Amino acid sequence: MALASHPAHQLVEVTVRRSRIDGFGVFAAEAIGAGARLGELTGEAITVAEARRRAEGRQRLMLVELSASRAIDASRSSDPMRFTNHSCAPNARLRVEAGEIAFFALRDISLGEEITVSYGSTHHEGRLACRCGAENCQGQL
């Protein structure tokens, strides 16, 4: 099966639907090759202090820290990538460059496969159970 090849500025096709990991997830609507740019994430620009305040007591977060002082709250964003769930064995990564949050495939991703990233250290500070189901699951976020 040939994998979709996209110029750097063109994004791949994805869909949002229920996820076995948590709530909704983002899924490949086509076969995707390693290194492909999957999408971007936009949202409300806020301070990290405000992001941490908003995170208190919430289980579902759509916050990304851009720097030690700036963060993005994507909870009201229309970008499908805001539904990207965590996995301890992710198939994608996010990269923050010049204030832009972009997602890239770490490996080939099959049609229908859920796109996941490692959240790294989170606002949950180890208090939220991880449900990724990966063999190497760390058990918490």
Q: Amino acid identity, residue 24?
A: F
Domain that holds residue 35: 14-117
What per-residue confidence (pLDDT) applies to 60? 67
In the numeric block, the tokens 């490692």 are attached to: 118
Tell me the C-alpha to C-alpha distance, in Å, between residue 55 and each of 8, 49, 60: 33, 10, 8
CATH of the domain at 58: 2.170.270.10
Is pLDDT at 3 greater than 60 in this prediction? Answer: no
CB atoms within 10 A of CB 76: 10
Query: Does some domain include residue 29?
Result: yes
For the segment 48-80, what is each residue's pLDDT rounded down to a tens digit? 899 888 888 666 678 888 888 888 888 888 889
What per-residue confidence (pLDDT) applies to 5? 42
Tally of structural domains, the chain: 1
Q: What is the pTM assigned to this prediction?
A: 0.82
Name the residue among 114, 86, 103 with its Cα closest to residue 41: 103
- Of 7-21, 22-36, 122-136, highest mean pLDDT: 22-36
What per-residue confidence (pLDDT) applies to 51? 86
Instruction: Select the more confidently predicted residue: 64 or 10.
Output: 64
